[in-house]
Structure 1
Amino acid sequence: MKKSILIIVLVLLIDQISKIYIKTNFLYGEEVVVFDWFRIHFIENNGMAWGAEFGGKAGKLFLTIFRLFAITGIGYWLYSSIKKGAPNILIVAISLIFAGALGNIIDSVFYGIIFDTPLNATATLFAEKPYGELFHGKVVDMLYFPIWSGNLPEWFPIWGGKPFTFFNAIFNIADTAISTAVGLLIVFNKKAFPKT
């Protein structure tokens, strides 16, 4: 349990510190090139994968409430796995999923009431006039890995001849924790879920 809590706290600290730093020091859309294939690029979204949106304000509220229920289930899964003496790899993976989900939930629940979004200026933490309301915050993303950009060959199905960037998703530390956990569960599937 202590190791699990340590993983969760570390991921949450790194996630929230990076998001608050980016939000209070970068203009929306600002980008810093670290390497050709890695950039810090500040964007926000309503919390769905690849910034997808549905149902406007009501859809955002539904998504946030759904996440709260989901994290309760993940927390129970983690607790019961620890109690049952599950393999360490499974406990680490669940801890990463829990931390990542909680990191993005913090944005969704609280960022709308603690940050403003001024035009052509950086955001203010604990602003007098925040941009939203409780449960309607936007998730901060900043990690961008455009490993390759160019036009695909004409013979390529669907996207042939069109500009293409691999990998064009922009994400955050919380998303990275969840993706890492899923990768661990796929690669170490037999160790995580041994046959009894």
Structure 2
Amino acid sequence: MSLKKASIIIFIILLIDQISKIYIKTHFQLGEDVTVFSWFKIAFIENDGMAWGTKLSDFVSFISDETAKLVLTLFRIVAVTGIAFWLIDVTKKKRSKTLIFAISIIFAGALGNIIDSVFYGVLFNDSVMQVASFLPEEGGYAKVFHGNVVDMLHFPIWSGVMPDNLPLIGGKYFSFFDPVFNVADMAISTGIGILIVFNKKAFEESNNSTNLGTIKT
């Protein structure tokens, strides 16, 4: 797969991700949800930290939430820069389509969430008890690099009390699947899943590389 084709994949994922986030941000109040099916809801939340809403300041107590947010955003930028160089490298070396596709969607997802973290704080005002406005006259809800990531996809597939005869969890309330996420998160998770499940196929040497090695030998 060429870098051009990879770029098209990245662009499509970014476009879907940002359109969905901007729509939710400008049509929903924070905490508002709409039931599409019994097992699927559009639920608007904002994530100001890492996965599952965890904050860096939860682990490093001597730094403020604001500093932790800045550090996390800068770390994301460094990470996505590294992924970009990795993608360029594997396309130049004509590695497997599986590997290039996986890296492409991981990069697209990471970049999508970085856009939220870097720019959304200045592009939108607060969503608490109101629908946010794009480029509000009074300014945004946060400084550059301090924005929150918009999440909206919720799949409450099953919930209930577990049977009493089950060890450890018997008689306890359980729900699957609680996390709320976005298109960018889906892209990252899918890309990582591909690298894990199809590891051998993803990291196999291409025929071109093998042939070149044979000729040189």
Question: Could you tell me how far 1:190 is from its partner in structure 2?
Answer: 1.2
Deviates more, 1:160-169 or 1:63-72: 160-169
Larger Rg belongs to: 2
Q: What amino acid is the match of 1:10?
A: I
Deviates more, 1:146-155 or 1:128-137: 146-155
Work out whether 1:171 is the aligned partner of 2:171. no
What is the count of residue pairs matched by the alignment? Answer: 196
Question: Could you tell me how far 1:185 is from its partner in structure 2?
Answer: 1.4
Which one of the candidate residues 12, 34, 39 is aligned to 1:10? 12
Which one of the candidate residues 158, 177, 182 is aligned to 1:148? 158
> How high is the TM-score relative to the length of structure 2?
0.86
> Quick one: structure 1 residues 190 and 163, their matched pair in 2 at CA, closer, same or farther if it must change by over 3 Å?
same
Which one of the candidate residues 107, 119, 126 is aligned to 1:110? 119
Question: Could you tell me how far 1:171 is from its partner in structure 2?
Answer: 0.2
Gaps of 5+ in 2: 58-64, 211-217
Work out whether 1:189 is the aligned partner of 2:191. no
Which one of the candidate residues 103, 107, 126 is aligned to 1:98? 107
Work out whether 1:61 is the aligned partner of 2:63. no
Distance 1:111 1:72 in 2: 20
Corresponding residue for 1:88? 97
Q: Percent sequence identity over matched residues?
A: 59
SS at structure 2 position matched to 1:142: strand
Runs of 4+ in 1 over 3 A off after TM superposition: 154-160
Question: Could you tell me how far 1:160 is from its partner in structure 2?
Answer: 3.4
Question: Could you tell me how far 1:159 is from its partner in structure 2?
Answer: 3.8
SS at structure 1 position matched to 2:56: coil
Distance 2:56 2:83 in 1: 24
Work out whether 1:180 is the aligned partner of 2:184. no
Question: Could you tell me how far 1:36 is from its partner in structure 2?
Answer: 0.7
Please, what is the CA RMSD of the aligned residues? 1.4
Work out whether 1:134 is the aligned partner of 2:136. no
Distance 1:164 1:142 in 2: 21
Work out whether 1:21 is the aligned partner of 2:31. no
Contact kept, 8 Å, 1:47 with 1:108, in 2: the verdict is: no
> Quick one: structure 1 residues 96 and 71, their matched pair in 2 at CA, closer, same or farther if it must change by over 3 Å?
same
Cα-to-partner distance string for 1:123-170 (whole Å, 9 max, x where unaligned): 011112211001000000000011101112334454432221101110
> How high is the TM-score relative to the length of structure 1?
0.95
Deviates more, 1:145-154 or 1:97-106: 145-154
Gaps of 5+ in 1: none
